[in-house]
A and B are shown apart, each in its own frame.
Chain A
């Protein structure tokens, strides 16, 4: 596709359930990022993939959060034992590459709005 896509657009779940959020980056983009945006706040970094590996997962809030990118394209953010505080918009972004000569411009998807009841 032409841009970053995310599914589902909305997810409502109950406290304690497991959820998966999917991100399809722009074709050919090797870098992929997950951010979380709470109401009235700017997005906060969660995890960054370069290819298949997580180059920086320091933003994951705790071990209930996990993300994978097994083939270096699509990524899945997984949240176990969801809590009400996990409610937020989860944004995915991709960029062409991360090198000194690259502008590293990030392109964002529309986000997944997660509501934990």
Chain B
């Protein structure tokens, strides 16, 4: 069974810092990896999706890298802002049979950026 772990569980930083959120997964036979943002009481917003054949994806101040063989992904947030405060979730899909499509999630990193 795929296990996804996210470190740290919570992070509190002043505005302007560059941040690194970590995600690891036990089964390296993934199809893709997605990073999501979840605001309190809200659904999930997709931030970045990395295919298993890719090494990284960038969107604005966000950069996600993927090392499939070692089972790791990193979300880098540059010049953090208070509006970045949210829970960040990492999720993978497996490259295998009928499980293709279902997402396996970590428990998330709760980020607080204070002014």
Give residues in A with beta carbon < 8 Å to B: 4, 31, 33, 35, 40-45, 48, 50, 55-56, 59, 91, 93, 95, 98, 103-111, 113
New contact pairs (7) apart from A56-B102, A103-B32, A113-B41, CB-CB < 8 Å: A33-B102, A43-B91, A45-B102, A50-B101, A93-B44, A103-B51, A108-B46
**Interface code B27-65, partner A: CB below 8 Å = 1, 0 otherwise?**
000011010100001111110010100000000000000
Q: Within the assembled complex, what's the spacing in Å between the Cα atoms of A89 and B106?
A: 16
- Judging by beta carbons under 8 Å apart, are A105 and B44 in contact? no
Give residues in B with beta carbon < 8 Å to A: 4, 31-32, 34, 36, 41-46, 49, 51, 89, 91, 93, 98-108
What are 12 A-B contacts defined by CB distance under 8 Å? A42-B4, A42-B91, A42-B106, A43-B103, A50-B101, A56-B101, A91-B44, A103-B49, A104-B31, A104-B100, A108-B45, A111-B43
Q: How far is the CB of A94 from chain B (nearest CB, A)?
A: 11
Instruction: Take A42-B4, A42-B106, A59-B102 as given contacts and tell me if A104 and B44 are in contact as well, using a CB distance cutoff of 8 Å.
Output: no
- Closest residue to A110 on the B side, CB-wise? B43
- Closest residue to A99 on the B side, CB-wise? B100
Chain B at the A interface: mostly helix, strand, loop or mixed? strand
Q: Within the assembled complex, what's the spacing in Å between the Cα atoms of A40 and B102?
A: 20
Interface centre among A91, A93, A104, A109 (most CB of B within 10 A): A104
Q: How far is the CB of A23 from chain B (nearest CB, A)?
A: 11
Q: Within the assembled complex, what's the spacing in Å between the Cα atoms of A50 and B100?
A: 11
Give the chain B neighbours of A91 by CB distance below 8 A: 43-44
Q: How far is the CB of B9 from chain A (nearest CB, A)?
A: 9
- Judging by beta carbons under 8 Å apart, are B102 and A105 in contact? no
Give the chain B neighbours of A35 by CB distance below 8 A: 103, 105
Taking a contact as CB atoms closer than 8 A, the residue among B32, B42, B104 that contacts A104 in the complex is B32
Q: Within the assembled complex, what's the spacing in Å between the Cα atoms of A23 and B91?
A: 21
- Closest residue to A6 on the B side, CB-wise? B43
Q: How far is the CB of A36 from chain B (nearest CB, A)?
A: 11
Give the chain A neighbours of B32 by CB distance below 8 A: 103-104
- Closest residue to A31 on the B side, CB-wise? B101
